[in-house]
């Protein structure tokens, strides 16, 4: 059996999305900026996709800008807003569990003379409106808090946080790359000024993203060039990618409650079986304010890399909680931020579902985990020490 449970890293392009894109390679290939018929046809497709993206998050089409990826959207929102407002204030607030696309951009802005407050989160990964309220300053121009965490799946109280920023006259950005398609998002009702999304996290191809910028919000552009995207994001549009993004977001946001409920049932079944059938394990993240497809657990006494290797041999794709994107073995900054010890963080894995995973797959993966964890513990010196310790304690009196 082959099971893909690493949808937090990327998803497959589904057949309807692929089919929607196909004409835009060999047949409809004009440059959307060209005024001839070929170009006009391409332009029409770009604008139709812009309307699809806008509708999915409650925005207006003119508020959607296509980008190369979620990382670019995050960079543009943060740097664009920081530079555009530098005269007003140079203070930015974010959290310490953001994706590196946000965290590393903030680090860079600090080098450029901006001041950044990194709000700590609680043991579930939550940041509260009260915390944000206390951190707001007269020179705070921008607040950026992710909608849902990519590692532990915690869903932040975005409308409440955005309301605090608004009350203080600061811009509110959210990295919603993991949330789109799984959580109902309405940028107007939720007071969101900027929102990043990325196609490949919801069955569109890699290399296409978008940034929503509320009408009236001024951002400095990051690149110079042509007049594409209303002069704000130059570069000939990724025509087929944009068409795919439009189709995929329409499908992903079509019936969120039903699909999220189905995914959550599979998620909860997996969590329950893991907690019941594997000793010395902990669930990371929030028990209920949790992405419908996220399972993140720490197995004590063993290394996640060994677990992943064994799962891979049995056809199961998952990722380590440590998310060593750079190949470094540093434990995840998210797990450390929620108070997981270095040792337990090293034994963490993330299983991330899509709406295509089944209960049968879930059972197969848990069966594999039960066997794998037992096998690895039988060879683990840490586990051996632990058992000795238990014996010693038991024979003390």
Ligand X SMILES: *Cc1c(COP(=O)(O)O)cnc(C)c1O
Name the residues annotated as catalytic.
324
* Number of residues engaging ligand X in binding (CB under 6 A): 15
- Shortest approach of ligand X to residue 176 CB, angstroms? 8
> Interface mask (CB under 6 A) for ligand X, residues 30-69, using x and -?
---------------------------------------x
- Minimum CB separation of residue 99 from ligand X in Å reads 3
Closest by Cα among 207, 214, 118 to 166: 214
Q: Which is nearer to ligand X, 85 or 144 (CB)?
A: 144
Joined together, the tokens standing for residue 6 give: 């690493």
> Do the beta carbons of residue 94 and residue 144 sit within 8 Å?
yes
CA 78 to chain centre: 16
Out of 80, 181, 205, 209, the residue judged to bind ligand X by CB under 6 A: 209
Q: Which of 79, 90, 91, 99 binds ligand X (CB under 6 A)?
A: 99
Q: Which is nearer to ligand X, 105 or 191 (CB)?
A: 105
CA-wise closest residue to 87 among 108, 105, 107, 114: 114
* Minimum distance of ligand X from residue 38's CB (angstroms): 29
- Would you call 386 helix, strand, or coil by DSSP? helix
Helix axes 359-378, 304-313, angle to 10 degrees: 130
Shortest Cβ distance from residue 180 to ligand X (Å)? 10
Residue-wise over 343-365: b if at least 16 C-beta within 10 A, else e?
ebbbbbbbbbbbbebeeebbebb
Q: Is 29 helix (H, G, I), strand (E, B) or coil?
A: coil
Shortest approach of ligand X to residue 272 CB, angstroms? 26
- Residues within window 112-171 making contact with ligand X, judged by CB under 6 A: 146, 150
Q: Which is nearer to ligand X, 100 or 168 (CB)?
A: 100
Q: Give the integer Cα–Cα distance in Å for 100 and 149.
A: 12
Q: Which residues contact 345 (CB under 8 A, 6 or more apart)?
A: 298, 321, 322, 331, 332, 335, 336
Q: Which residue is nearest to ligand X (CB)?
A: 70
Q: Looking at 36-44, 193-201, 292-300, 370-378, which segment touches ligand X (CB under 6 A)? A: 193-201
**Min CB(280)–ligand X separation in Å:** 29
Concatenated DSSP letters for 205-263? PTT-EEEEE-TT-----S--SS-TGGGTS-S---HHHHHHHHHHHHHHTTTHHHHHHHH
Q: Which is nearer to ligand X, 6 or 74 (CB)?
A: 74
**Beta strand 209-213 pairing with 64-67:** antiparallel
Judged by beta carbon, residue 69 or residue 93, the one nearer ligand X is 69
Q: How far is the CB of 44 from ligand X (least distance, A)?
A: 26
Binding-site string for ligand X from residue 161 to residue 180, where x marks contact by CB under 6 A and - marks none: --------------x-xx--
Single out the residue of 4, 7, 52, 70 in contact with ligand X (rule: CB under 6 A). Answer: 70
Q: Which ranges of the chain does DSSP label H, i.e. alpha helix? A: 15-21, 23-26, 37-57, 70-84, 100-111, 129-135, 158-167, 239-252, 256-277, 304-313, 333-337, 342-345, 359-378, 381-395
Q: Identify the residue among 11, 198, 284, 304 touching ligand X (CB under 6 A).
A: 198
Nearest residue (CB) to ligand X, 34 versus 96: 96
Of 110-118, 197-205, 369-377, 378-386, the segment contacting ligand X by CB under 6 A is: 197-205
Stretch that binds ligand X, among 36-44, 198-206, 296-304, 388-396 (CB under 6 A): 198-206
DSSP summary character for residue 278: S
Give the bridge partners for 282, in sequence order.
298
Which is closer to ligand X, CB of 99 or CB of 259? 99
Q: Per-residue string for binding with ligand X, 272-311, x by CB under 6 A?
A: ----------------------------------------
Contact status: 101 vs ligand X (CB under 6 A):
yes
Which lies closer to ligand X via its Cβ, residue 213 or residue 281?
A: 213
Residues that bind ligand X (CB under 6 A): 69-71, 74, 99, 101, 146, 150, 175, 177-178, 198, 200-201, 209
């Amino acid at each position: 059996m082959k099971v893909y449970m690493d949808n937090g890293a990327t998803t497959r392009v589904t057949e309807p999305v692929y089919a929607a894109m196909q004409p835009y390679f060999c047949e409809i290939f004009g440059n959307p900026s060209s005024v001839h018929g070929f170009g006009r046809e391409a332009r029409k497709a770009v604008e139709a996709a812009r309307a699809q993206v806008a509708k999915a998050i409650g925005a207006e089409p003119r508020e959607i800008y296509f980008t190369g990826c979620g990382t670019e959207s995050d960079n543009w929102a943060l740097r664009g807003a920081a530079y555009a407002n530098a005269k007003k204030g140079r203070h930015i607030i974010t959290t310490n569990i953001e994706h590196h696309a946000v965290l590393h951009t903030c680090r860079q802005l600090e080098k450029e003379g901006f001041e950044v407050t990194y709000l700590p989160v609680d043991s579930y990964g939550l940041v509260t409106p009260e915390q944000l309220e206390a951190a707001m300053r007269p020179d705070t121009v921008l607040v950026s808090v992710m909608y849902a965490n990519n590692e532990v799946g915690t869903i932040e109280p975005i409308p409440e946080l955005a309301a605090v920023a608004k009350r203080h006259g600061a811009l509110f950005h959210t990295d919603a790359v993991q949330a789109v398609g799984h959580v109902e998002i309405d940028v107007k009702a939720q007071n969101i000024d900027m929102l990043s999304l990325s196609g490949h996290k919801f069955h569109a191809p890699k290399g296409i993203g978008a940034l929503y910028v509320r009408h009236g919000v001024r951002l400095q552009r990051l690149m110079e060039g042509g007049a594409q995207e209303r002069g704000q994001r130059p570069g000939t549009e990724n025509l087929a990618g944009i068409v795919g993004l439009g189709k995929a977001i329409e499908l992903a946001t079509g019936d969120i409650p039903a699909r999220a409920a189905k995914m959550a049932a599979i998620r909860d079944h997996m969590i329950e079986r893991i907690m019941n059938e594997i000793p010395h394990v902990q669930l990371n993240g929030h028990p209920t304010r949790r992405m419908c497809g996220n399972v993140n657990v720490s197995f004590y006494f063993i290394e996640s890399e060994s677990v992943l290797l064994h799962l891979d041999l049995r056809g199961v794709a998952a990722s380590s909680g440590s998310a060593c994107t750079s190949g470094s073995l540093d434990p995840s900054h998210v797990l450390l931020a929620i108070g997981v010890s270095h040792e337990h963080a090293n034994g963490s894995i993330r299983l991330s579902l899509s709406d295509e995973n089944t209960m049968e797959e879930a059972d197969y993966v848990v069966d594999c985990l039960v066997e794998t964890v037992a096998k690895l513990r039988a060879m683990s010196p840490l586990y051996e020490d632990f058992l000795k310790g238990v014996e010693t304690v038991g024979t003390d009196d």
